[in-house]
Amino acid sequence: MGRAGPESDMNADRYGEILVFTRVVACGGLSAAARALSLSPSAVSKRISRLEKRLNVRLLNRSSRSLRLTAEGEAFYAGAARSLDTLDEAENALKSLSNSPRGLLRIFGPPAFGYLQLAPLVPEFLALYPDLRLEFQLHNEIVDPVEAGVDLAIRMGPQRDSSLVARKIGGSRWIICAAPSYLRRHGTPQTPTDLLSHNCMSFSVRTHRVHWSFKENGHTVRVPVRGNAISNQGEMLRQLALNGVGILRISEFVVAADTAAGRLVPVLADYVEKEEEEPIYAVFHHQRHMSPRIRVFLDFVQKKLAEQRRHN
C-alpha cells in the first residue's frame, strides 16, 4: 500500500495527536496525561502511535516504569509546544477581539431614523467601543446589504425577504399631526372621515390611492386620503407640516420634539391604535458566527430604543 496522500494527511487529527503528545511529555506519563485530558490510557497510547506512524519516527521510548523522549521526540516537542502556544495566543486574541470589537461597521438606513434615533446614541456607543468606526449610508431605498457593501441595513415594517436574517431592534408608533396654523385655517378633524375634506400628506406613496387606518368602535377603519404634496423624505414632510401645508401621518419619533413644543398638534389621537407599532428591523446576511461588530451594535441600539419606549 502506498503512502497516504495530502488529502488523507489533512483529514488526520493532527491537532489532537500533537496535543496528546505534548500533554504526555508535560505530565510525564500516559496515565497522568489521560487523566488530564479525560481520556483512557489506551486512547492516549493510540494517538501517540498514530502520530509516530504519520511522522515515521519514534518520539517516545516507553516502558512499564518510564517514558523518555527520543532525540527526534525532543526536537519535535519543542516545535509542537511553540505551535500550540501560538494557537492559544491566536484564540485568546480572537476572544479579546470579541470582547472589544474593532474595525469599520457600515450601516445603511432611512435618513430620519439615522438623524433622530441613531445619531443621539453614537457618542455613548463609541465611548464604549473606542476601537470601532461607524459609516452611515442614509437612503430610503431598500437594498441588499451585500450589494450595497454594508454590514447591515435598517428597515421599517414587516420583512418578507427570507434570504436575510432580520432582527427586530425596536418599533415606531404612528402619529397624525398638523401645525396650529393649518388647523386654524381648516379646522381640526374630529373623526377619521373628516380627513376626506383635508389636505393629507403621506410619507410613502406606492399607489394612486393612499389609505390611513384607524380604530373606531373596536373595528379597523381605512380612510382614503389625498393631498397636494408628497415626498419620500420624512424631514421634507415634517417641514411641510410645520409650514402649515397639511395634515401628516408619520413615525412618532420624527416629530416628537415638535409635538412636545407645540409646533405640531396631534389630531385624532383617540382613533390611532396606541399599541400599534411599525417594527424596525436590522437585516443582514446569514453568518454562522455573527460579527462582534454587528452584535454589539445591535445589542446596544435595541437596549436604548427599548429604554426610550418605556420612558415615553
Q: Where are the domains of the chain?
A: 6-98, 103-169+278-311, 173-271
Task: Tell me if 103-169+278-311 shares its fold with 173-271.
Answer: yes
pTM above 0.75, yes or no: no
* 233-240: average pLDDT: 90
* 86-94: average pLDDT: 68
pLDDT in tens, 125-147: 999 999 999 999 988 888 788 77
Strands 152-156 and 103-109, sheet pairing = parallel
Q: How many CB atoms lie within 10 A of CB 129?
A: 19
Region of poorest pLDDT, from 2-6, 62-66, 137-141:
2-6
DSSP classification of residue 4: P
Domain 103-169+278-311, CATH 3.40.190.10 — does that match? Answer: yes
In the CATH scheme, what is the homologous superfamily, with its name and number, of domain 173-271?
Answer: Periplasmic binding protein-like II (3.40.190.10)
Most confident among 18-22, 263-267, 285-289 (mean pLDDT) = 263-267
* 111-121: average pLDDT: 92
Most confident among 14-23, 207-216, 251-260 (mean pLDDT) = 251-260
Q: Is 85 exposed, middle or buried (0-12, 13-18, 19+ CB in 10 A)?
A: exposed
pLDDT in tens, 241-268: 999 999 999 888 899 899 999 999 999 9
* 109-121: average pLDDT: 91
Q: How many CB atoms lie within 10 A of CB 195?
A: 22
Q: Is the pLDDT of residue 6 over 90?
A: no
Please tell me the distance from the alpha carbon of residue 301 to that of residue 295, in angstroms, as a whole number.
10
Name 174's bridge partners.
Answer: 251
Instruction: To the nearest 10°, report the CA torsion of 277, 114, 154, 95.
Output: -120
CATH numeric code, 6-98 = 1.10.10.10
* 167-173: average pLDDT: 88
**pLDDT at residue 288, rounded to an integer:** 53
User: Which residues, including other chains, have CB under 8 Å from residue 240's CB and lie 6 or more apart?
Assistant: 201, 229, 231, 246, 248
Please tell me the distance from the alpha carbon of residue 145 to that of residue 285, in angstroms, as a whole number.
7
Q: Which residue has the cell 397636494?
A: 228
